[in-house]
Amino acid sequence: MISIKKLTYMYPEADSPALKDIDLEVSDGEFILITGATGSGKSTLLYCINGLIPHVFDGKLTGEVVVNGFLPKDMPVAEISRVVGTVFQNPESQIFMLKVEDDVAFGCENLSLPEEDVIKRRDMALKEMGLFHMRHAETLNLSGGMKQRLAISSVYAMGPNVFLFDEPTTDLDSTGRVEFLNIVRRLKEKGNTILLTEHQYEDFLTLADRVIVLEKGEITGFSQAGSLHTTTGRELLKGRKRGVSDEIDIQGVTFGYTKKRDALVDINLNIKRGELIAVCGDNGSGKTTLLKVLTGLLKPVKGNVTISGLVNPSLEELIGRVGFLFQNPDEQLFANSVEEEIMFAPMQLGKKINKDEYLKIVGFSAIKKRHPQTLSRGQRQLLAILSVMTIEPQILVLDEPTTGLDHGNLCSLFRILYKMVEEGKTVIFSTHHRKVKEFAQRVILMKDGRVIKDEIYK
């Protein structure tokens, strides 16, 4: 059982509490779905339950949290993990080993379980999450979605009876989401207690016992949560014409990380200036690899890539012309405050920008002094996107930019991207978002390193 009374928490240097007077009772075996806008306090609530607050995150904490009879604030995090298993938004933060099967076994070994039990739990978790065939793969070579599955497998293998999932499906493809939904269903059937935060929560409504809505750190009610609106993208794109001049041309491109398997196979694409393109496909289909090739981060083994008239350009030639957002926003956040982060890239290039205008774009004016790592995953995602946009690139490439964004921030993001397209700039993004056709002019679908469909929407 989880009991939370008058819980209030404020991050260091924050102007307002991230959580305020939270009262919540969770029964054994109950499945609680937690929704709310980006920055509403969903992740912070989980951190109070698993002990990361106050053991890892500083700040001011008042109130009481009791989990299975103990107070997380009074126990070491290692001891709490025996009872409370957490899958974080960023899977890379909980991947420690070089090989998939070793990483799944890692947590069990730290519990000092007998070797035969470790192997049994490891193999069971790998099979449940559809990773058994990849058990010998190197974790560094996994796609973002595969890393998410691996993180889930590692926690699942340890066998806690309280599971905290912080937007666990954001990087999963449709197959992965179904597999994870089945995992959650089995966990619930076995009597485990589950708290799960999500923006795309429709799949979980039939399993959840309660849906809790957080707003600005407070529980504002219980909801049956509606589906995502679909009116923002297609209406804004009506009547918008594609460009006529070539921006990127890819001919016969093949690329492989190893000699055994090609990640891209004979790719041929022509991208016009002013297009807004979504690249879709299951995890491991080659989306991220394609984006890195067309931004100059990876060089093809075969074929040619022409970007803004430059044939097979060096990375140095593309600096300032092409902006790239990685899947994990934390990989490109360097500064000590939001406003410093926005200014970082243009300062390196000797460009002057109006930082206040960029802050207003996504409503960050009130948090401009906050440290980026105190923001929610969705807020960090938006900040990383802004930090790339401030260099004013001709081509903007975003790898899974919708991860962690609620509906409001998703709409804010695409309003920005539409404005860039109207200015004649080219935007290419990869995504698993179900409503992709509502936002993109053109959708490129990939499978096994090949382009299997290329559709243009009027």
For residue 446, give the H/E element and its range: strand 442-447
DSSP string, 219-235: EEEE----PPP--SHHH
Distance CA 45, CA 197 (A): 10
Length of the chain: 458
% of the chain with per-residue pLDDT over 70: 94
Helix/strand/coil percentages in the chain, nearest 5 = 35, 25, 40
- Torsion, CA 101, CA 103, CA 108, CA 112, rounded to 10: 100
For residue 277, give the H/E element and its range: strand 276-280
Distances (CA, A) of 293 to 6, 210, 250, 352, 353: 51, 45, 9, 29, 29
Name residues whose C-beta falls within 8 Å of residue 78's C-beta, 6 or more positions apart in sequence: 110
Query: What is the β-pairing status of strands 218-222 and 210-215?
Result: antiparallel
Each residue of 175-211: pLDDT tens digit? 777 878 888 888 898 899 999 998 878 788 888 989 9
Please tell me the predicted confidence (pLDDT) of residue 458. 59
Q: Which domains does the chain carry?
A: 2-222 (3.40.50.300), 233-456 (3.40.50.300)
* Closest to 53 in 3D by CA, of 84, 98, 97, 99: 84
Please tell me the predicted confidence (pLDDT) of residue 307. 93
Task: Assess contact for 28 and 227: CB atoms under 8 A.
Answer: no
What average pLDDT does the chain have? 87
Task: Assess contact for 110 and 103: CB atoms under 8 A.
Answer: no
Most confident of 125-129, 142-146, 449-453: 449-453
Each residue of 221-245: pLDDT tens digit? 765 433 333 334 445 445 455 566 8
Rounded to an integer, the average pLDDT of 309-314 is 91
Beta bridge mates, 323: 396
Name residues whose C-beta falls within 8 Å of residue 334's C-beta, 6 or more positions apart in sequence: 341, 344
Each residue of 263-295: pLDDT tens digit? 999 999 999 999 999 999 988 899 999 999 988
Each residue of 23-73: pLDDT tens digit? 999 999 999 999 988 889 999 999 999 999 999 988 999 999 999 999 999
DSSP string, 231-262: -SHHHHHTTPPPP-SEEEEEEEEEE-SSSS--
DSSP string, 86-150: EE-SSGGGG---SBHHHHHHHHHHHTT--HHHHHHHHHHHHHHTT-GGGTTSBGGGS-HHHHHHH
pTM: 0.67
Q: Which of 1-15, 135-149, 234-248, 377-391 has the lowest mean pLDDT?
A: 234-248
Distance CA 127, CA 176 (A): 13
Distance CA 50, CA 9 (A): 14
Please tell me the predicted confidence (pLDDT) of residue 357. 87
Task: Assess contact for 138 and 150: CB atoms under 8 A.
Answer: no
Q: Could you identify the residue written with the tokens 């679909």?
A: 230
